[in-house]
Amino acid sequence: MTGKDLRRGGLARLTVEDIVAPGFSTPWDAPTIPPFPFTFRNVEVLTLAWRTSEAAVARVLPPPLEPTSDVVLAHVYRMNDVDWLGAYGESNVSVGCRLPGADIAGSYSPYLFLSSDVGVAHGREVHGQPKKLGEPLLEIRGDLTVGIVRRNGIDVLTGTMATKQRPDSLEGLARHFDFALNINLKAVDHIDGRPAIRQLTARRLADVSVHECWGGPCTVELRPNAQAPIHRLPVVDMLDGLYWRADFTLVPGRVIHDYLAAKT
């Protein structure tokens, strides 16, 4: 069954052309990885901002990336309607960084947690995001918006913000760093253990349409977990957060640094 035949519901045999084509995924007759582009609709997000130390940020950055801020942004998403993936929860913890010698600055993701196996596989295989299974939850509890990231039965992150009291915009986050340009460390080995891919990748969401955005002071509580060590970015000062709802599309990104090529 080719990729095209699969989308039509056909039963053709797999070909070499299918295997070497962009966007191929296994199992070939029930692929796991979505091809680009795919769209996220009516996504609800609680973005929590807190100040940590620049030394803490520097410790989670792979060289040659350098910190540009001592602020951490943690996004807790309720994905309501996503091509291929359906509905699930996600959280992305990001810090500001730049690539020296290049006009590239954005956000690096040291920790991501999802309740979707497809999302975990796609993030790791394509972007190099360090995604793990977890239980991110976003809820409105009366007059309080609550975001929780749970792993191994432990609430490793709990954030709160008053519900819809102050209209706001995403521009307020830009003063910390460009969170929309997401940078990741992609690492894949050959079957014999030799490094196959060692890259810094970057991608920016497309077709972003924000339906509503609300801001206000947020609270952030971190609990230690060796398998979800967000606590390595300790809270020094809690800042303003945002609750927002949007549509966007995930499109291909680019390689901004190739470690193996740099060695030759």
Mark whether 132 is an active-site residue: no
The DSSP code for 216 is E
**3-state SS class at 7:** helix
> Is omega for the bond preceding 234 within 30 degrees of 0, making it cis?
no
Total H helices, total E strands in the chain: 5, 15
CA distance 52 to 60: 12
Q: How wide is the angle at C-alpha 21 spanned by C-alphas 20 and 23, nearest 5°?
A: 120
Question: Please, are residues 39 and 249 in contact by the beta-carbon 8 Å criterion?
Answer: yes
**3-state SS class at 20:** helix
CA distance 116 to 248: 18
Q: Is 80 exposed, middle or buried (0-12, 13-18, 19+ CB in 10 A)?
A: middle
36 alpha-carbon distance from chain centroid: 16
Residue 122's φ and ψ, nearest 5 degrees, are -65, -45
The one catalytic residue in 4, 131, 164, 186 is: 131
Element (H, E) at 186: strand 181-189
Token pair for 76: 């807790």
CA distance 186 to 184: 6
Q: Is 43 exposed, middle or buried (0-12, 13-18, 19+ CB in 10 A)?
A: buried
- The residues annotated as belonging to the active site are 131
